[in-house]
Structure 1
Amino acid sequence: MPAAYERYLVPVVFQPFAEDLTARAAALDPRHILELAAGTGVLTSELLATAPSAEVTATDLNETMVALGATRAPGAAWRQADAQQLPFPDASFDLVVCQFGVMFFPDRVAAFTEVRRVLAPGGRFLFNTWAPLATHGFEVALQAGLERAFPVDPPRFFATVPHGYADPTLVTDDLTAAGFTVEDQLELTLQGRAPSTADLATGYLTGTPVRAAVEDRGDAPAVRATVIEEMTARLGPGPVTAPMTAYVFRAAA
């Protein structure tokens, strides 16, 4: 799954936002950076290139992601870590960053409280989270394909998890509850560009948790064909471009 995620989704969906988040991080002139939910290292690589004087520690809950990320961005110190129980001393970092990971934390206030603990006084927490599903052109088309393939009870992972923390007021409230002061919050729309809808469908169906749902429910090749057909009808065969919207937050400890 990490290999498919890295090949088909990272360049299209995550790279544009990694470049944006890295520019915002570099402007803070950090010296010790902790990255949460680093995945395969798309943001990590950008941080290493843009802030070469900073020490970067990259973490992820998934050991497979950590192993792959360590090969992709070997300049960082990689380790497996739970964001709700960070294995670092108090005040160890002056910047904590997280790209599209906070939505996956079971207890976000607990995770944010841990982030604040490991930040030095005045340190910053910089992260992004997806806006509602309807604002992501690729995933609207994908969900339509899944609903066509599964007319009864289609997988709703994208609506409920990646796009399930899409209320900026709730995010701000959670940060405040963890003791942060929210300094900046903005809505950002970037364009994703993919070589083909077939590649996109392959990435989403084999490189995300939807893979298990599809395999458990029936004929995966037939599902893939249906999803590609629906996505192509909506986006074209490729190359394809679609808007993707996220929220970006910066909070001070």
Structure 2
Amino acid sequence: METDRVFRGSIPALYDRYLAPMIFAPYADDLAARLADLRAGNVLETAAGTGVLTRALASALPQDVAIIATDLNQPMLDHAASRLVSDRVTWRQADAQMLPFPDGMFDGVVCQFGAMFFPDKPRAFAEAARVLRPGGHFLLSVWDRIETNEFADVVVRAVAALYPDDPPMFLARTPHGHHDTQALETQLGAAGFGTTRVERLTLESRAPDALSVAIGYCQGTPMHNEIETHGADALDAATQAAADAIAARYGPGPVAGQISAYVITAGR
């Protein structure tokens, strides 16, 4: 759905405040560490969002590594740029399916939890291969099934119960709807990558309280847009229902739950 890619208004700030530390930062640190042996050169990030991975890359990589962070969504990039000012980081609006860079420009390409939003994944993967130098690597991560990501699963079930005739299913449909790693490996091979390695990485998600989890998912993602179609009070009602469900299962806070994702390394 086209609305699944709409991150604007209050969504970028809420996404970064609530979801970034809760589910994205642990994987960002892991992904950045996988490039830590790169001593110099250029790294491209696609679907950078609010810059969670960008900040981790800037912290982990040597000063001689330049970072270009791109996203199709300008409001997300604007928020990201406000969080990190660095001479070695360039922010640029760009479509991962049509990158404005020459062949072989980058020593590494990274994409954290962005491939699920690409309408044409094979094309985006081919672009990543094109801009990589020979011997470079493309690192990407995708979420596992929603049932293995506890907070997201509880939130979706709670909100769906409020609107059974038209449940807001963004989380299940898009972030957690593209976990077929065999299909991804096939697409990467067709795009020109010679080797791929897939790892399932299960971590722990933490939040200060149940309400923070509910706000993050209900208001800090395009689920927000789906919920609002149910009326003026729907967003508050859905957020409260999600918070109540999280508290019922994990307590009011602090809360912790399992998160699971796949990390894929594709060699050029």
TMscore range, shorter length: over 0.9
SS of the residue corresponding to residue 180 of structure 1 reads coil
Q: Does 1:144 align with 2:157?
A: yes
Give the aligned residue type for 1:13: I
Partner of 1:162: 175
Partner of 1:5: 15
Partner of 2:36: 26
Q: With the length of structure 1 as denominator, give the TM-score of the two structures.
A: 0.97
SS of the residue corresponding to residue 155 of structure 2 reads helix
Q: Does 1:85 align with 2:95?
A: no
Residues 167-195 of structure 1, C-alpha deviation per residue, up to 9 Å, x if partnerless?
11011011011011233211000111100
Partner of 1:72: 83
For 1:30 and 1:73, the matched residues in 2 are separated by 20
Give the aligned residue type for 2:69: A
Residues 94-134 of structure 1, C-alpha deviation per residue, up to 9 Å, x if partnerless?
10001000111000000000111111111110111001111
Partner of 1:60: 71
SS of the residue corresponding to residue 75 of structure 2 reads helix
For 1:117 and 1:95, the matched residues in 2 are separated by 12
Contact 1:130 1:163 in 2 (8 A): yes
For 2:174 and 2:29, the matched residues in 1 are separated by 23
SS of the residue corresponding to residue 217 of structure 1 reads coil
For 2:114 and 2:207, the matched residues in 1 are separated by 22
Partner of 2:58: 48
Contact 1:182 1:249 in 2 (8 A): no
Partner of 1:223: 238
Partner of 1:239: 254
Aligned-pair identity (%)? 46
Partner of 2:117: 104
Partner of 2:194: 181
Q: Does 1:37 align with 2:47?
A: yes
Gap runs ≥5 in structure 2:
1-10
Give the aligned residue type for 2:264: F
Contact 1:34 1:56 in 2 (8 A): yes
Q: Which runs of 4+ in 1 moved over 4 A?
A: none
For 2:167 and 2:218, the matched residues in 1 are separated by 13
For 1:26 and 1:181, the matched residues in 2 are separated by 22
Equivalenced residues, count: 253
For 2:92 and 2:196, the matched residues in 1 are separated by 29
Give the aligned residue type for 1:69: A
For 2:116 and 2:194, the matched residues in 1 are separated by 20
Q: With the length of structure 2 as denominator, give the TM-score of the two structures.
A: 0.91
Worse-superposed segment, 39-48 or 180-189: 180-189
For 1:130 and 1:72, the matched residues in 2 are separated by 25
For 2:118 and 2:40, the matched residues in 1 are separated by 25
Partner of 2:5: none
Give the aligned residue type for 1:232: A
Worse-superposed segment, 177-186 or 49-58: 177-186
Contact 2:185 2:196 in 1 (8 A): no
Contact 1:130 1:246 in 2 (8 A): yes
